[in-house]
Amino acid sequence: MPIIKKFFIFAALFSITGCLTAPAPKETIRSCPLIRIENQAYAKVVRHFDTYQIAITGYDSDCIVRSSGGKVIVVIQPQFVIRRLQPGGEEDVPFDYYISTPYETKKEHLTASFPEYEKEIVYEGRPVRLKMPYNLRHEIPIYLGLIINPEEQVLNNIYFDANFNYSEENRK
């Protein structure tokens, strides 16, 4: 075998071995998107006498990169826990939440069906899509929160404490 062929075989093997043993570059993993939860929980009265606590417990999210336009589509699906605070029958519990960026705000209305003898249910909202600039997808916060109307805010301020301790002692 000529020396030139041996040299090229040796060089090819050396370069392949070098690629396999080289450490991977360190990359800082940043979440896409950056989500902040506001107005995380509140109490709601349904039909003037049934009281429920609605709380945002988390979310599933993803960023879908579009090849054109320099935009990214953010998909967020919030997760809620709804607790019955007093005995009651089967009930539909309506509530609203928002997802907001400096570029776009979406408000969603949900109605969770609460079975008669359950004290707590886990509920997932519909996936919501927002558009953001691709190069700012890690820097721009997205806000997720419950919408509390003025009557519900008064109820929460008068009857319930910030930790949602619903004992009779705390109502005095």
Does 143 reside within a domain? yes
Does 113 reside within a domain? yes
Question: Helix (H, G, I), strand (E, B), or coil: what is residue 115?
Answer: coil
Say if residues 29 and 67 touch (Cβ distance below 8 Å).
no
**Mind listing the pLDDT tens digit for each residue in 70-92?**
788 888 999 999 888 888 778 88
**By percentage, how much of the chain surpasses pLDDT 90?**
17
Does 44 reside within a domain? yes
- The domain in which residue 93 lies consists of 28-164
Report pLDDT for 67: 60
Does 20 reside within a domain? no
* CATH code of 44's domain: 2.60.40
Does 56 reside within a domain? yes
**Mind listing the pLDDT tens digit for each residue in 21-32?**
444 444 344 556
Report pLDDT for 31: 56
**Mind listing the pLDDT tens digit for each residue in 111-142?**
998 888 888 999 999 999 988 888 887 888 88
The total of structural domains in the chain comes to 1
Does 67 reside within a domain? yes
Does 99 reside within a domain? yes
Which stretches does DSSP call E strand in the chain?
34-38, 41-46, 50-65, 71-84, 91-100, 105-114, 120-124, 128-133, 141-147
**What is the total residue count of the chain?**
172
Say if residues 35 and 66 touch (Cβ distance below 8 Å).
no
Return the sign of the alpha-carbon dihedral for residues 151, 153, 154, 155: positive
